[in-house]
Amino acid sequence: MSTLEIKNLHVNVIDNEGQAEKEILKGVNLKMQTGEIHAIMGPNGTGKSTLSQTIMGQTGYRITQGDILLDGVSIVDMPVDERARRGLFLAMQYPVEIQGVTNTEFLRAAINARRPEDDPIPVMEFINKLDEKMELLDMPESVADRYLNEGFSGGEKKQNEILQLLMIEPQFAILDEIDSGLDIDALKVVSKGVNSMRGENFGSLIITHYQRLLNYIVPDTVHVMMGGKVVKTGGPDLAEKLEAEGYAGLRDELGLDI
């Protein structure tokens, strides 16, 4: 069993010139373990993407207080690739394109980065796994040899990130608004992929604006973020309540001034 713990996390975003900073996360606390799926919901601009980028170690964010622990070890000084090697995975709201690298090359490199240097994944094993996962996701074979995300539609990019998830098999996957821009069929396929990962060696933090996704990927725990903090934690019924009453209802209930 693995644990991911976010303790009193305060994060500033740094603007493009590295001049001004603005505090976005104001003391986030959250703890999860493999075998669990947690959802984070919250209004736009509340810091959900800032949290996911900070967990993964993307640049442009500065931790001013608090810590992020993977199996009790602080990861905040580790570069992105080291965090990935240790089993973290981030599917982003806006997936990047990488020129000149095909999907297959990327996947093989990402898988091998998590294996001992002298034990790369055997070619046939890789191909069989790729075939199996692409079939599960209803992806055409041609996608494998295309350059990473280049010319992909929004939906195809999301689907491709789920393919990465299934191939890399991380311990913890942070999925930041993987539902945005997906039609209902694509949403079902993406959910099927994530659900196929469920098990005692996999945990996921699913960030979403809407409850809809959580009808397909039913979380064990739901957190609501507002004003840069987790303001409420509950079961799946919390998501339904939010859908019915909106964030304003919760703001009133908690007496929040944010």
- Binding positions for Mg ion, rule: CB under 5 A: 44, 48-49
Query: Closest distance between Mg ion and the C-beta of residue 177, in Å?
Result: 6
Query: Closest distance between ligand ADP and the C-beta of residue 52, in Å?
Result: 8
User: How many residues touch ligand ADP (CB under 6 A)?
Assistant: 12
Work out whether 49 is an interface residue with ligand ADP (CB under 6 A). yes
46 binds, among Mg ion, ligand ADP, none (CB under 5 to 8 A by kind): ligand ADP
**CB of 137 or CB of 226, closer to Mg ion:** 226
Q: What is the token pair recorded at 183?
A: 């039609």
Restricting to residues 18-37, name those near ligand ADP by CB under 6 A: 24
Interface pick for ligand ADP out of 38, 48, 223, 229 (rule CB under 6 A): 48
Window contacting ligand ADP (CB under 6 A); options: 41-49, 115-123, 163-171, 182-190: 41-49
Interface pick for ligand ADP out of 2, 34, 46, 159 (rule CB under 6 A): 46
**CB of 2 or CB of 49, closer to Mg ion:** 49
Give the phi and the psi of residue 168 in degrees, each rounded to 5: -80, -25
Query: Closest distance between ligand ADP and the C-beta of residue 19, in Å?
Result: 11
Work out whether 249 is an interface residue with ligand ADP (CB under 6 A). no
Footprint of ligand ADP on this chain (CB under 6 A)? 13, 15, 24, 42, 44-50, 60
